[in-house]
Structure 1
Amino acid sequence: MLKLYWVKGTISIAVAIALEEAGLPYDAVQMDFKTADQTKPDYLAVNPKGRVPALALEDGTVLTETGALLDYIAAIAPTANLVPTDPQNAAHMRSTMYYLASTMHIAHAHKMRGSRWATQQSSFDDMTAMVPETMAACAAYVDTHILRGDYVLGDTFSIADPYLYVVCNWLSGDGVDVALYPKIQNFMSKMQARPSVQTIYQKAML
């Protein structure tokens, strides 16, 4: 059985939602950032990066990086139709995922992970102060250019949607007024109504 290493509220939950959408059984191994589980030898033996998510396969192989795990889930559960067959739609789906990974997640991380980029408290404070502005800019881009309807691909659900859902869950905590972005509001409502997301809430993963 697949084994997902996750932390509540983090991007690892996007993988859990995709597993639920695909109907794939998995064991959920909860990590705790408060006790720095991700830095301990047992977990570093699983994922030397010291990050979540990590997905352990039945043969012992461990996969990392959210986008790669989402693509893997879609590939091993083709009947779930989590990746579009149209090349342009697939490109839009993946460009969304890459944007979330390279831009929006990084903007969010500046709030509490400043030590990844700087060493001075003044730098940390400056990064934190910028988060509402940078995350609002990201939200505006998502609302205007990413969401093509109820989901990233319009009426069609794809692996980009759980990724976007988890990241958009961070907006309010980052000082962004989500009411200013009607497409994001609609998207969040549609996602919250999906059985996969309801199951994740029942499991207290979000």
Structure 2
Amino acid sequence: MSYGTSFNYETILICLVAEVLNLLTTFIFYQVLKIPLFFDTIFIVAVVFYLGFVPAICVSIGYSLINSFMWICKTGFFDPFIPMYGLCGILIVFSTWLFAKNKSDFRISVSITLLYLFLIALTSSMCSIISGGLIDYFHYKYYEVTDMMNPIKNFSEGFIIQHYPPIVSYILAQIPVSFLDRLIATFTGFGIYRSFDFFMKRR
């Protein structure tokens, strides 16, 4: 069972570019346009399809570390829960790779490809919902979290107002945001992979 491409200059360059584009995408859609979705795994998904498990894990962990550093620069203090969200990224990479490693299955037909992408979105969103909800529970319990730091804050507060247990509220609040985010990231990431793969084959 292969876990990814051996590291060479091209692989490292692609990972670095994916990291920069991931940060740029998050900044534009989340910080500038204020869209309440994460948009932080589109290019990670593309790397999973193009390079495999290990390079994608490196990009995911790299994003988590950079995001934690940027948070320290912005606020002036270290929030230990920020890097913990990197676990969501790792689980997303793994659940995506479980399907993406069999690339030949995606060439059978368009309908099979769409089915696989939907299954990836569903599986990765379940991982993100549970892990993100549990992290949110402890994060909100011990730290004051700003509204724009996490797009599901308002959803979780809505469930708490309706007297749902806090831990259940944080998990349920993840469902609409995480599923839509995973759906967009999975299909967009696959589209980027196919476009880049087509371009590289024509070189």
Scaled by the length of structure 2, the TM-score of the pair is 0.35
Higher strand proportion (structure 1 or 2): 1
Higher helix proportion (structure 1 or 2): 2
